[in-house]
Structure 1
């Protein structure tokens, strides 16, 4: 659309050398190139300077229209109208487009006869309204996809936690059965063998003593197994892998040690919630395609979560409820959470728990 708007004047500049000295055509060329550069920069990033670039595009488009030939250059304002809903809040975008429509009509009434200005102003006002509506619908659809992806992630997190809880309950049930049934019978067997060792004499005495020793050994091993099943560390790796798989609209690249375990259940829950919050925030705010998360054990035996994305980032960041809760949770365990925003370069997060909270 930008190239089509400049087709006729550019042809005049190329094939009619005498026209290159005309101030109006030189101003047109400056505005035309300014619009193209500003649009290209805005298409590459949507950082803090995006609104200024949108304003520069609007001013350049008005300059092209005012110094143009037949009024068809108003198509550049339709390009601006298509960008406004993605860069501005809904009300401000509407005000921006209405303001452009008023200025466009004013320019047409100045540069064109009345019989031509009225239909041109009506046509391009309609085009601007249409492109704004389509862009707004697309924006809402994209927001709906992000919200659906966020809810999907929360549902998957709930499923993973539920599965972990079921495995934990099953482990506790098995440990109780071992303790109450097998442990009871081995205890009774050990007591009977001990009593038998005091009454049996002759060649059978040694066999009874050996059987008693084996029974006591088995009883000790059963107690160790029961204790390990009750108090065993949480295997965090499979839970995190399940959480990161199949996130809609986002490729999550998760690196977790194969046998990562955290003895403290509160610390394990905090690390899990940290990864969940990172995925959710990236879906909601970052407009990213990739998210890299590394969960590693430090040299001191602690746990570190390092996350970064390739989204739009931010020059400054005001933590919301989720990030604030994460920082408070890690602080209670003696850890910390650091956020490193960078406008146009994605977001980076480093969270750390001390050795008493985790071990590999």
Structure 2
């Protein structure tokens, strides 16, 4: 649209040397190039200083419109109208578009004959309203997709946690059955063999002694199995992989060792919630296409979560409830969470937990 608005005047500047000396054409060219540069900076800046850049675009478009010949530069105002819903609140965006319509109408009436100014002003005012409305609808639809993706991630996290809880309950049930049934009978067998060893003499005494030793050994092994089943480490790999798969609108590249396990269930829950919060925040705020998450064991035996995205980032960051809760959760376990924002370069997070027990 920018190129189409400058097609005729630029052709005149190229093929009519006399027009290059006209102050109006020189001013038009300055405004035209200023608009293009401001628009490029707005897009590349991903919202950084957008209001000032929109103001510069508006001034440049009105300047090009005032110094042009046929009013076709009004298409530049339509480009601005399409940007306002993305960078301004709804009411302010509407006021901006109405202001551009009034100013452009004034320019048309001042520079064009009345019979031309009226339909031209009406035409471009309609175009501005239409582009702003379509952009607003598209923005709401994009927000709806992001919210749906966030809810999808939370639902998947709940499903993963529920599956882990069911596996844990089944493991505890089996442990109780082993302890209450097999352990009870082995204890009774061991006691009976102990009593028999004091009454049996002759060739059978050695066999009773061996049977008693085997019963004691088996009882000890059953107790070890029951203990390991009750206090077994949480396998984070499958849970995190299930959480990261199929996130709508975001490619999550998760790297986690298959055998990564954490003995402390509170620490395992904290790491899981950290990854969930990173995915949710990226969906809601980053406007990113890719998210890289690495969960690794440190040389000291702790756990580290490193995440970064290719979104818009931020020059400064004010942590919300989710990030603050994550920092508090890690601090209670002796760890920490660091955020490294960078405007236009995505967001980076590093979370660390110290070694606890036999975590590996």
Q: Which residue of 1 aligns with 2:245?
A: 245
Aligned pair 1:225/2:225, yes or no?
yes
- Preserved contact between residue 47 and residue 314 of structure 1 (Cα < 8 Å): no
- Preserved contact between residue 46 and residue 87 of structure 1 (Cα < 8 Å): no
- Preserved contact between residue 31 and residue 63 of structure 2 (Cα < 8 Å): yes
Q: Which residue of 1 aligns with 2:10?
A: 10
**Deviation for aligned residue 1:358:** 7.3
Aligned pair 1:305/2:315, yes or no?
no
Paired residue secondary structure (1:128): helix
Paired residue secondary structure (1:319): coil
Q: Which residue of 2 aligns with 1:141?
A: 141
Residues 212-241 of structure 1, C-alpha deviation per residue, up to 9 Å, x if partnerless?
A: 111111100000000000011111111111
**Deviation for aligned residue 1:314:** 0.8
Counterpart Cα distance in 1 of 2:162 and 2:122: 59
Superposed counterparts of 1:264-343, under 5 Å: 264-343=264-343
- Preserved contact between residue 289 and residue 310 of structure 1 (Cα < 8 Å): yes
Paired residue secondary structure (1:72): coil
Superposed counterparts of 1:145-224, under 5 Å: 145-224=145-224
Q: Which residue of 2 aligns with 1:71?
A: 71
- Preserved contact between residue 35 and residue 61 of structure 2 (Cα < 8 Å): yes
- Preserved contact between residue 47 and residue 87 of structure 2 (Cα < 8 Å): no
**Deviation for aligned residue 1:264:** 1.2
Gaps of 5+ in 2: none
Task: State the superposition RMSD in angstroms.
Answer: 1.2
Paired residue secondary structure (2:259): coil
Q: Which residue of 2 aligns with 1:49?
A: 49
**Deviation for aligned residue 1:356:** 2.4
Superposed counterparts of 1:96-107, under 5 Å: 96-107=96-107
**Deviation for aligned residue 1:132:** 0.2
| TM superposition score normalised by structure 2 | 0.98
Q: Which residue of 1 aligns with 2:109?
A: 109
Counterpart Cα distance in 2 of 1:196 and 1:127: 101
Counterpart Cα distance in 2 of 1:324 and 1:102: 46
Deviates more, 1:61-70 or 1:166-175: 61-70
| TM superposition score normalised by structure 1 | 0.98
- Preserved contact between residue 252 and residue 292 of structure 2 (Cα < 8 Å): yes
Paired residue secondary structure (2:329): helix
**Deviation for aligned residue 1:262:** 1.2
Counterpart Cα distance in 2 of 1:358 and 1:334: 16
**Deviation for aligned residue 1:45:** 3.1
**Deviation for aligned residue 1:44:** 2.6
**Deviation for aligned residue 1:357:** 7.4
Counterpart Cα distance in 1 of 2:316 and 2:193: 74
**Deviation for aligned residue 1:328:** 1.1
Q: Which residue of 1 aligns with 2:353?
A: 353
Q: Which residue of 1 aligns with 2:84?
A: 84
Paired residue secondary structure (1:355): coil
**Deviation for aligned residue 1:272:** 0.8
- How many residues in Structure 1 have an aligned counterpart in Structure 2? 360
**Deviation for aligned residue 1:88:** 1.3
Runs of 4+ in 1 over 6 A off after TM superposition: none
Deviates more, 1:129-138 or 1:255-264: 255-264
Q: Which residue of 1 aligns with 2:132?
A: 132
Counterpart Cα distance in 1 of 2:108 and 2:116: 8
Counterpart Cα distance in 2 of 1:264 and 1:73: 66
Counterpart Cα distance in 1 of 2:307 and 2:172: 34
Paired residue secondary structure (1:117): helix
Paired residue secondary structure (1:199): coil
Paired residue secondary structure (1:214): helix
- Preserved contact between residue 313 and residue 343 of structure 1 (Cα < 8 Å): yes
**Deviation for aligned residue 1:92:** 1.4
